[in-house]
């Protein structure tokens, strides 16, 4: 087997595929000098809201900002507890801490998302919200979560940073909760050329709060400062690029599903691999990531790396085990088991068949198979 390099994502290659449209957006903005809070941002927000299925979308500087601002908008602050999965990117938890609230960690199930059967156990009189995280393109059980939220009158902030385009019973990620939060970090299914994020919501109150707070608290029509805010708008240039890419999302999701099926076919005879195919009625996986579990853990992921394949092992060390974060480790067996085994294979729309075949060949060769 001849060694080659396969990138996890290849933004340069995707740029070349969309060059005429992206270049047109770039030159138009540069010519007009429209950089902050201009028409491209508004257009992208309108299209994103339509795509997700909410009344409003508000472009922010990152997924983290969307989590942070939407929690403030929902009135979460000191003294409040917010339930969050033990297996997620650290930003979900940091946003809770940075509004002054206390994160209450709950273990996940084998689909990597919060275990809804463990949420009731941690609800107290201080619980103010739940932050389900839809990891890798597969949504948390929102019907069950909304039932709990209704019973205890809780705010639901969906961390949909990894799941734009995913849905349950046709209702999109980001359209279920009080607010939905998205990231347009370059590795994401809808990736910008730098950082970016957005809040989606049906609440006019939350939309207005986010629009003001992203702009130093200012009501841009009256000039009134409505609170101490931040500077965290999505740049007009990024919005224009994202608006171009958003047009391709459905097509790209189909391509991701085809790649996932190719991996499934190629690996279904390997008992030491647990593949991310769940077959749950109404749930749609969009494969932001193809995260499998290998019983051989780092031995498996190191072998792929040695053979030139870029992979992600998020997250070998769970975030609550990082001392400086000062989080209680109550013991989360499923999080710990899957953390040792996770490995995300290259999954992107710019990958070609030869590269995929090479990834498959290398994975099979690790298990001594042709």
CA 75 to chain centre: 23
Question: Is position 111 an interface residue for ligand PLP (rule: CB under 6 A)?
Answer: no
CB of 91 to ligand PLP, least distance (A): 4
Residue at token pair 């171009």: 244
CB 162 within 8 A of CB 347: no
195 binds ligand PLP (CB under 6 A): yes
Q: Select the residue interacting with ligand PLP from 92, 113, 201, 236 (CB under 6 A).
A: 92
Q: Which residues of 201-236 are buried (b: 16+ CB within 10 A; e: fewer)?
A: bbbeebbebbbbbbbeebeeeeeeeeeebbebbbbb
Q: Which is nearer to ligand PLP, 183 or 294 (CB)?
A: 183
**Closest separation in Å from C-beta 222 to ligand PLP:** 30
CB nearer to ligand PLP: give 62 or 167: 62
Q: How far apart are CA 320 and CA 336, in angstroms?
A: 11
Residue number of the CB atom closest to ligand PLP: 63
- Please tell me whether residue 136 binds ligand PLP under the rule CB under 6 A: no
25/91 with CB nearer ligand PLP: 91
Least distance from ligand PLP to the Cβ atom of residue 94, Å: 9
Q: Is 313 in the site for ligand PLP (CB under 6 A)?
A: no
Taking CB under 6 A as the criterion, the residue among 71, 73, 131, 133 binding ligand PLP is 133
Alpha carbon distances (Å) from 352 to 6, 21, 256? 10, 22, 12
Q: Does 163 bind ligand PLP (CB under 6 A)?
A: no
Q: Rule CB under 6 A: say whether 63 interacts with ligand PLP.
A: yes
Residue 50: how many other CB atoms lie within 10 Å: 11
User: Please, what is the minimum distance in Å from the beta carbon of residue 185 to ligand PLP?
Assistant: 4
Q: Which of 112, 176, 185, 241 binds ligand PLP (CB under 6 A)?
A: 185
C-alpha 34/C-alpha 237 separation (Å) is 8
Q: Write down the least CB distance from residue 159 to ligand PLP, Å.
A: 5
For residue 15, the minimal CB distance to ligand PLP (Å) is: 19
* Of positions 167, 183, 201, 203, contacts ligand PLP by CB under 6 A: 183
Q: Is 89 in the site for ligand PLP (CB under 6 A)?
A: yes
Smallest distance, ligand PLP to C-beta of residue 44, A: 16
Tokens 């809804």 map to which residue? 116
Indicate whether 344 belongs to the interface with ligand PLP (CB under 6 A).
Answer: no
Q: Is residue 166 part of the contact set for ligand PLP (CB under 6 A)?
A: no
Residue 182's beta-bridge partner residues? 198
Q: What angle do CA 13, 17, 18 make, to 5 degrees?
A: 120
How big is the site for ligand PLP, counted in residues (CB under 6 A)? Answer: 15
Dist. CA 223–CA 180, nearest whole Å: 28
Return the closest-CA partner of residue 302 out of 355, 366, 358.
366
Instruction: Please identify which residue in 22, 48, 57, 91 interacts with ligand PLP, judged by CB under 6 A.
Output: 91
User: With binding defined as CB under 6 A, does residue 10 bind ligand PLP?
Assistant: no
Helix extents (H) in the chain? 11-17, 19-32, 39-52, 63-73, 90-98, 142-152, 204-213, 236-246, 249-267, 297-306, 333-341, 353-366
Binding to ligand PLP by CB under 6 A, coded x per residue (else -) over 23-62, reads ---------------------------------------x
- CA distances (Å), origin 27, targets 24, 32, 101: 5, 8, 44
Residues 252 and 264: their CA atoms lie apart, in Å, by: 18
Residues that bind ligand PLP (CB under 6 A): 62-64, 88-89, 91-92, 133, 159, 161-162, 183, 185, 195, 197
């Amino acid at each position: 087997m001849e060694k080659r390099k396969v990138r996890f994502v290849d933004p340069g290659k995707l740029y070349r595929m969309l060059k005429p449209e992206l270049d047109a957006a770039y030159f138009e903005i540069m010519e007009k000098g429209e950089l902050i809070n201009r028409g491209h941002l508004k257009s992208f927000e309108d299209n994103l809201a339509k795509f997700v299925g909410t009344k409003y979308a508000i472009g922010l500087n990152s997924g983290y900002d969307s989590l942070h601002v939407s929690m403030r908008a929902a009135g979460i602050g000191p003294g409040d507890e917010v339930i969050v999965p033990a297996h997620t990117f650290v930003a979900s938890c940091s946003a809770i801490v940075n509004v002054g609230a206390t994160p209450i960690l709950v273990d996940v199930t084998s689909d990597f998302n919060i275990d809804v059967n463990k949420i009731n156990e941690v609800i107290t009189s201080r619980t103010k919200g739940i932050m389900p995280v839809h990891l890798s393109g597969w949504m948390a059980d929102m019907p069950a979560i909304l039932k709990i939220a209704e019973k205890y009158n809780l705010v639901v902030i969906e961390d949909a940073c990894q799941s734009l385009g995913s849905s349950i019973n046709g209702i999109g990620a980001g359209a279920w909760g009080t607010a939905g939060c998205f990231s347009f970090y370059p590795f994401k299914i809808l990736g910008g050329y730098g950082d970016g994020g957005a809040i989606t919501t049906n609440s006019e109150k939350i939309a207005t709060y986010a629009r003001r707070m992203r702009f130093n608290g200012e009501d841009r029509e009256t000039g009134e400062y409505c609170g101490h805010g931040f500077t965290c708008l999505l740049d007009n240039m990024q919005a224009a690029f994202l608006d171009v890419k958003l047009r391709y999302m459905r097509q790209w999701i189909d391509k991701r599903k085809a790649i996932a099926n190719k991996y499934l076919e190629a690996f279904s005879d390997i008992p030491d691999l647990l593949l991310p195919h769940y077959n749950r009625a109404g749930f749609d996986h969009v494969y932001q990531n193809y995260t499998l579990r290998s019983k051989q853990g780092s031995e498996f992921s190191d072998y792929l790396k040695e053979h030139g394949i870029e992979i992600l092992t998020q997250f070998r060390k769970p975030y609550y085990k990082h001392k400086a974060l000062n989080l209680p480790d109550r013991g989360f067996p499923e999080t710990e088991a899957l953390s040792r085994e996770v490995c995300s294979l290259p999954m992107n729309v710019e990958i070609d068949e030869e590269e995929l075949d090479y990834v498959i060949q290398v994975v099979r060769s690790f298990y001594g198979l042709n």
